[in-house]
Amino acid sequence: MKHVIPLILALGLSNMSCGKSKKEEPVNKEQENQEMNQSEATEQDEPKVEVAVITTEYGDMVVEFFEESAPKHVESFKLHANNGYYDGTIFHRVIPGFMIQGGDPNTKGDNKASYGTGGHAAKFYGIGNEDEPTSWNLPAEFNDINHVRGILSMARSNSPNSGGSQFFICAGPAPHLNGGYTVFGQVVQGDQVIEQIVNLPRDARDNPNRRVTMKVRLEKRSK
C-alpha cells in the first residue's frame, strides 16, 4: 500500500490539472478589423470586365467582348445597349445548327417584310451621311477569331463596311464566315438559351413563329 498511495495522489493531481479550462486569449479587435478590411479591399481590387446581358424569356445570355479585335463594333454595341436601342427588338432569323440573328429596330413592329432591313451604328464612324444617323455604318474590323458556337458577330450586306446594329450568335461552327464578318464577342453563359431559340418553329423566311424579344444591359463582373 505504501507504493500505491503516492501513485493515486499523482494521478489525482494530474486529472485536476487537465480539468482546468484554458484561459481564453483576448480578442484582438484591431487585428480582426484589419483582416476584414484587407478581405474587402481584395474583393474590390479584383479585375472587372464589362459584359452584356441579353435577357429573353428563355433566360440570359452573357457576352464578353473582344475589345482589342473590334473596338468600333464593341463601342457601337455598348452605346446601343446603354440607350435602350435593342430593348424590345426580337431574334428575327433562326437557322438550326447555324445562328440566331437580331438587333433590328424594325422588328419592334409587326411588318415582317421589313425585318432584317433596318438598323445603324450608334455613332458616326466615317461611313454614311453624318447628318443622317440612319445611314451610319461600321467599317469592317475583320480578324482571325473563328466563327464557332457562341460567337457574337456583326451582320452586314454585300459591302464589307455595311454593319449597323444587327448581330448574330453562332449556334454551330460557321467556317465559311471566317475573315469576312466581324467577330466582336462571345457568349460565355447561356448556351442553353441559344439552343432553345435556334430550334423554334419558323416560316419560309426563317422567322420564328413566335416573338422572342430581348433586353440588353451592361454590367461589370469579376473575371
Check residue 9 and give its pLDDT: 39
Q: Which domains are seen in the chain, by residue range?
A: 48-222 (2.40.100.10)
Q: How confident is the model at residue 37 (pLDDT cuts 50, 70, 90)?
A: low
Largest CA distance in the chain: 115
- Alpha carbon distance 164, 220 (integer Å): 25
Confidence (pTM): 0.80
Give the pLDDT score at 42: 53
Q: What would the mean pLDDT of 91-96 be, rounded to a whole number?
A: 98
Question: DSSP characters for the chain?
Answer: -TTHHHHHHHHHHHHHHHHSPPPPPPP-HHHHHHHHHHHHHHHHHS-EEEEEEEEETTEEEEEEE-TTT-HHHHHHHHHHHHTTTTTT-BEEEEETTTEEEE--GGGGSS-GGGTTS----SS--SSS-TT-GGG--BPP---S----TTEEEE---SSTT-B-S-EEEESS--GGGTTTS-EEEEEEE-HHHHHHHHTS-B-TTS-BSS--B-EEEEEEEE-
C-alpha distances in Å from residue 195, one per residue of 24, 157, 159, 171, 200: 59, 26, 30, 7, 9
Contact 173, 148 (CB under 8 A): yes
Q: What is the pLDDT of residues 158-169, one digit of tens each?
A: 999 999 999 999
Q: Which residues of 167-192 are buried (b: 16+ CB within 10 A; e: fewer)?
A: bbbbbeebeebbeebbbbbbbebbee
Mean pLDDT of the chain: 88
**For residue range 40-89, what is the model confidence (pLDDT) as tens digits?**
555 566 789 999 999 999 999 999 999 999 999 999 999 999 999 999 99
